[in-house]
Amino acid sequence: MAAYIVFTRERLRDPVAFGAYGEKAGGTLAGHTAKPLAFYGAHETLEGAPIEGAVIVEFPDTAAAKAWYNSPAYQDAVKHRFAGADYRVFITEGL
C-alpha cells in the first residue's frame, strides 16, 4: 500500500540553514522509489494554523518511506532543516 510523507513548513527561521537543506535534500531520493507529488505550490489553509508551504512525497509503502527518512543521506540533510525552519512531518498510508 502506498505511503506518503507530508511536510508542512510552519515557520522559516534561518534562510541560510534552510538553503543548505534545500541543496542536499533532493539528492537523497536517489536510489529510493519515491515520487514527489507536491513541492511548495500554491496552497490555501482551510483549517488550523496557516502554513508557509507543503511537500508530499509518495513511496511504495511505509517501510520504504521510513527507509528514506532514516537514511544517512537524508539525516545529514535534515539537520539543516531543523536549524532553519519549523515543520510538521508525518507519514500516512494511501488507500
Q: How confident is the model at residue 91 (pLDDT cuts 50, 70, 90)?
A: very high
Q: Which domain holds residue 23?
A: 3-45+52-93
Q: Which residues pair with 4 in a beta bridge?
A: 58, 92
> Above pLDDT 90, what percent of the chain?
98
Q: Which three cell numbers stand for residue 56?
A: 508530499
Structurally, how many domains does the chain consist of?
1
Give the model confidence (pLDDT) of 45-56 as tens digits: 999 999 999 999
pTM: 0.93
- H helices within 1-95, ranges in order? 15-25, 62-69, 72-84
Reported as a single tens digit per residue, the pLDDT across 5-33 is: 999 999 999 999 999 999 999 899 999 99
- The CATH number of whichever domain residue 59 belongs to comes to 3.30.70.100
